[in-house]
């Protein structure tokens, strides 16, 4: 398992960070503009193959499983006229999953290389920093939420599903309060880290990572661009 993790980490470090960001834009176009749902399904399967190739097959399979369950459940709801759970919720999840798959890959890229890649784009510095913070903040929040959930389980607040259902406001309070305080602490640490690294300096910055475009990156961008254009035109 350690070898697999090391291989996937090494592989994701070698890619050009602009590749997952470009594929994210393609995923947004297909998710919201494709005329037929089957094109979105095929595009989601292609994203799963991409995640498997980069060593994240297990996570990609989870995305694919949630997508398939929501798709089947939505069709059952529409066929039998069931209004609960809301079909709009399933539609939102189905359109959101293909976008989250390349975003997940972008999050796995080291923050230094992510910064180096975004510096190659003609975007304002403040916008670049906003994108970096969002991409790096999400996994941190998920990790903190996992810690809070473990603490609640240890203290018996998640002893049974009936307790959660009978006391939804109390359960929400147990989650929201520590998450708010942890988010504030993380924000302070992030601000201090940015200041120490000279984020306010007006001079041109150098980084440890070099974000080079390789032939494999060009092929991936060309392939997903062609697939996106085909799915939007057909």
Give 131-172 pLDDT, tens digit per residue: 777 777 777 777 788 888 888 788 777 766 776 667 777 777
Best CA proximity match to 117, nearest among 194, 225, 220, 14:
14
Instruction: Give the contacts of 225 (CB within 8 A, at least 6 positions apart).
Output: 22, 26
HEC secondary structure over 84-124: CCCHHHHHHHHHHHHHHHHHHHHHHCCHHHHHHHHHCCCCC
User: If pLDDT is split at 50, 70 and 90, which confidence band does 128 have?
Assistant: confident
Which two structure tokens, joined as six digits, stand for 179?
Answer: 């998450």
pLDDT tier for residue 2 given thresholds of 50, 70 and 90: very low
The dihedral built from the CA positions of residue 135, 138, 139 and 140, taken in this order, carries a sign that is positive
Cβ(102)–Cβ(20) under 8 Å? yes
Q: Hey, how many other C-beta atoms are within 10 angstroms of the C-beta on 152?
A: 17
Angle, alpha carbons 51-59-109 (nearest 5°): 60
Measured N-to-C along each axis, helices 168-196 and 125-154 cross at an angle, to the nearest 10 degrees, of: 140
3-class SS of residue 1: coil
pTM of the model: 0.75
Burial class (CB in 10 A: 0-12, 13-18, 19+), 224: buried
pLDDT at position 201, please?
A: 67
Q: Are 134 and 106 in contact (CB under 8 A)?
A: no
pLDDT exceeds cutoff 60 at 5: no
Per-residue model confidence as pLDDT tens digits over 77-97: 887 777 777 778 888 999 999
How deeply is 210 buried, as exposed, middle or buried, from its count of CB atoms within 10 A (0-12, 13-18, 19+)?
Answer: exposed
């Amino acid at each position: 398992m350690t070898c697999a993790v090391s291989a996937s980490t090494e592989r994701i470090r070698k890619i050009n960070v602009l590749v997952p960001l470009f594929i994210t834009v393609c995923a947004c176009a297909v998710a919201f503009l494709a005329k037929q749902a089957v094109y979105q399904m095929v595009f989601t399967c292609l994203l799963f193959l991409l995640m498997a190739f980069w060593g994240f097959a297990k996570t990609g399979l989870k995305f694919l499983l949630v997508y398939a369950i929501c798709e089947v459940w939505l069709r059952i709801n529409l066929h039998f006229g069931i209004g609960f759970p809301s079909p709009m919720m399933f539609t939102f999840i189905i359109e959101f999953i293909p976008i989250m798959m390349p975003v997940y890959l972008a999050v796995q890229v080291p923050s230094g290389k992510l910064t180096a890649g975004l510096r190659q784009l003609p975007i304002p510095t403040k916008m670049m920093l906003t994108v970096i913070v969002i991409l790096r903040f999400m996994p941190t929040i998920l990790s903190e939420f996992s810690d809070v959930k473990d603490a609640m389980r240890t203290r018996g607040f998640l002893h049974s599903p009936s307790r959660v259902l009978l006391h939804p406001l109390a359960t929400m309070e147990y989650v929201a309060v520590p998450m708010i305080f942890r988010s504030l602490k993380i924000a302070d640490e992030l601000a201090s880290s940015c200041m120490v690294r000279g984020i306010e300096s007006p001079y041109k910055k150098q980084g440890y990572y070099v974000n080079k475009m390789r032939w494999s990156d060009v092929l991936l961008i060309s392939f997903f661009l062609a697939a996106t254009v085909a799915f939007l035109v057909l």
